[in-house]
Amino acid sequence: MSSRERFITEYCPHCGLSLISDKLTKNCPNCGYQVTITNKDLKNMMPPEGKALVYIIRPQIQGSLVVFKNYINERYIGATKGRKFLYEILEPGMYTITSKAEKYNSLELEAEPNKIYFIKQNLKMGIWMMRVQLELINEVKGRKLLKKCKLFTKY
């Protein structure tokens, strides 16, 4: 079963307290110092112990006005546009990752604990609009493509 929690561990630069949060901005409960999570932090996350981390990356700028809706096991997790990414923390198990543009495209993923997965959205021209094709890529290529992208939070 998937978890919508998005955990990031940061350390308060003021008092050194370890902060675990699902928010991009948080206050240290010890001293009240405000810590902001950046896109760089999001791109360098590690999965929480016993869970998997999945990045869905859309590195191309072409067709960036077309929004691709993304699902895990038919549950909507967010959208992507050109040079954007999103991520999800998953429990170990089998998942169907689906993206929809003009048509649906799916990829089966067996999530293993403590692993990071990178799924690239490849664009293809359809009859009326862009189509998407999902591809599981290795970590080296995934990290390189992720550097070009920012978190997409609008939808």
Say whether pLDDT at 56 is over 80. Answer: yes
Tell whether 145 is covered by a domain: yes
Burial class (CB in 10 A: 0-12, 13-18, 19+), 144: middle
Residue 138 lies in a domain: yes
In a domain, 43, yes or no: yes
User: d(Cα 133, Cα 38) in Å, to the nearest integer?
Assistant: 28
Residue 57 belongs to a domain:
yes
What CA–CA distances, in Å, run from 134 to 6, 51, 58, 94, 103?
Answer: 22, 22, 10, 16, 12
Residues 105-124 pLDDT 10s: 999 999 999 999 999 999 88
Phi, psi of 102 (to 5 degrees): -70, -40
In a domain, 45, yes or no: yes
**Which residue range(s) make up the domain with 49?**
39-151
CATH classification at residue 93: 2.60.40
Confidence of residue 19 (pLDDT cuts 50, 70, 90): very low
- C-alpha 78 chain-centroid distance: 9
Please give the tally of structural domains in the chain.
1
Q: Does some domain include residue 147?
A: yes
pLDDT number for residue 23: 46
Position 25 confidence tier, pLDDT thresholds 50, 70, 90: low
Provide CB contacts within 8 A for 124, sequence distance 6+: 130, 131, 132, 133
Q: What is the pLDDT of residue 37?
A: 63
Residue 19 lies in a domain: no
Q: 92: how many CB neighbours lie within 10 A of its CB?
A: 14
Q: What is the mean pLDDT of the chain?
A: 79
For residue 143, report the phi and psi dihedrals to the nearest 5 degrees: -65, -40
> Is 12 among the domain residues?
no
Residue 44 and residue 95: Cα distance in Å, rounded? 23
For residues 149 and 94, which has the higher predicted lDDT (pLDDT)?
Answer: 94
Closest-CA residue to 99 (of 115, 63, 83, 123)? 123
Cα–Cα distance measured from residue 102 to residue 131, given in angstroms and rounded to the nearest whole number: 5
* pLDDT at residue 21 tops 70: no
pLDDT of residue 2: 34
Question: Could you tell me the pLDDT band of residue 61, with boundaries at 50, 70 and 90?
Answer: confident
